[in-house]
Chains A and B, each alone.
Chain A
Amino acid sequence: MKRSVSNLKRAILLWRKNAQVRLMARMAYPGNFFILTASVIAHMVLNIVFMNVIFNFVSDFSGWTYREALVIIAGYMIIDGINWALFASLTGITRNIVNGDMDFALVKPIDTQLYVSIYRADPEDWSRVVLGVAVLIYAIAGLNISGWALFMKLLLYSVLLLCGIVIFYSINLIIKSISFWTIQGWGLQAVTESILYASRFPTAIFAHKFVRIIFYTVLPIAFLATVPAEFLAKTPSPYLLSGSLAVTVVFFYVSRKFFYFALSRYASASS
């Protein structure tokens, strides 16, 4: 237990140092940093514009009202923001393989998965999280929930969103690990982005049962933003809560195993 706490402290310290270096690098060109932040916000706003276009023509989107759908979008924004702000979407894996720097990562006295995960942190992406929280507050204001009910729902929402973050991290790790075979794997980023993109919409839009089963099991995007939103805005089956926790544990375990399996296939670039 003591060792785990010490490892966690070390990981947080390392991430903080990396984030500081990254922030200093970004602030070396302050104009670029602020425009980058503006563009990240614009990217998120376009998601809301898209949803607005849909709700300009319909009032019910697969059983979701506008405010309820905004809860899903807010969840997506927070997951996307954390994914970039903490892990730079795991681009560290591809980058280290292409540059031949994975050798250096391997000799560091730290867990390799942890090292490549927190290798880079993009400070401008905290704006996605801030905007996500703002959208969430706006959405909740129109949901007619208050008092203890709101507190309990928010608590559940936070736990499930945390599960969503871990699930997406795990999916991303599995996909990025494919870089050990393909080497030049920038195309894999588009795959993870398209998966996260799909999580912006209620899982109920996938009309075919077969597709929905896939999105709850093999590729569990339902647990990223839809399930947390359901617990906040609707009254879903309690099984979804245990389902979300189980999927989180299974995916994290499998992704870690797969990463180390892929790493064992790594052919060093320099020796």
Chain B
Amino acid sequence: MKNRARSGFAYRANTVTMLISESFSFGVLFYIWFSVYGGGGRIGDYTLGFMIFYYALGKIAGFLIEDYGVAYVLAEAISEGEFTNFLLKPVSIIKQEFSRYLGNFVYHLTVFSVIILAMLFYILKQFGGLKLLAFLLLSTNSALIFFFIFFLIGAMAFFFQRIQGLSFLLSLVSIFLAGKYVPLDVLPGAFYRVAGVLPFQYISFIPIMVFKGALDPAWIMRQYLTGLIWILILYVLTKIVLIKGIKKYEAIGI
């Protein structure tokens, strides 16, 4: 965990460029929705303010949760034969990778602390502490679901020699079905129904929905428990894939 955080600080120029590109993209999104609403349009039951908030919170939570390196690092290790090093260590591969993931979380939490604090302050003022607590509760599920989904994407490298294409495709699908492109409930019915039975929506869409409308403890509890069930399913799936993958894994010359 410490290593990942230190590596992030060593290459801080990348963080600066990431911040520039994310701010720029967010600025463009702001103008898109400003233009749509300014012309008298309205997207579903979203007000302009809530639409901007949806993307802003999605981006900030994404800084902390969405570490796409989870899939990349694991796939590279398997493809290049460095996975053997993971196997030799007396710690499970899931724990090792999760520590790296947490390191990334800590690094981004530190770097973006000012933006995160500003957003927390805005949420407290605008929506109250209870909704914030519910959001944080659902966000813990988001992090775990994201980690296991992308760990599984990386683990595909056990079964395919090159997973660059598969990884890109699955990442795109995940991002779209997580509601990162557009809120899922403004998509055409078929898309929304498909997204509704998959775990991706718990990465971004469901936690943000806490702030839409009145506080509904029963809905929050239901979403939290469903999220937990998905984590359990993904964990079991990860274990099965690891057992089968390690049996298949070959590293020549090490």
Contact = CB atoms under 8 A, between A and B. Distances in A.
A91 to B, nearest CB: 14
A195 to B, nearest CB: 7
Interface string A7-39: 000000000000000000000010111111111
A70 to B, nearest CB: 16
Task: Bin chain B's interface residue count.
Answer: 35 or more
A117 B34 CA distance: 38
Interface residues of A, number: 44
Interface string B143-172: 000000000000000001111111011001
A187 B18 contact: yes
Contacts of A61: 35-36, 39
18 contacts: A31-B162, A38-B169, A42-B173, A43-B172, A49-B187, A54-B32, A56-B188, A57-B43, A58-B41, A62-B39, A124-B165, A182-B17, A186-B14, A188-B17, A191-B17, A198-B24, A207-B31, A207-B34
B118 to A, nearest CB: 21
Contacts of B14: 182, 184-187
Contacts of A190: 17-18, 21-22
Contacts of B181: 46, 49-50
Contacts of A33: 165
A194 B25 contact: yes
B44 A57 contact: yes
Contacts of B129: none
B28 interface: yes
A205 interface: yes
Contacts of B186: 53, 56-57
Given A29-B162, A31-B160, A35-B166, A60 B31 contact: no
B127 interface: no
Contacts of B135: none
B228 interface: no
B28 A197 contact: yes
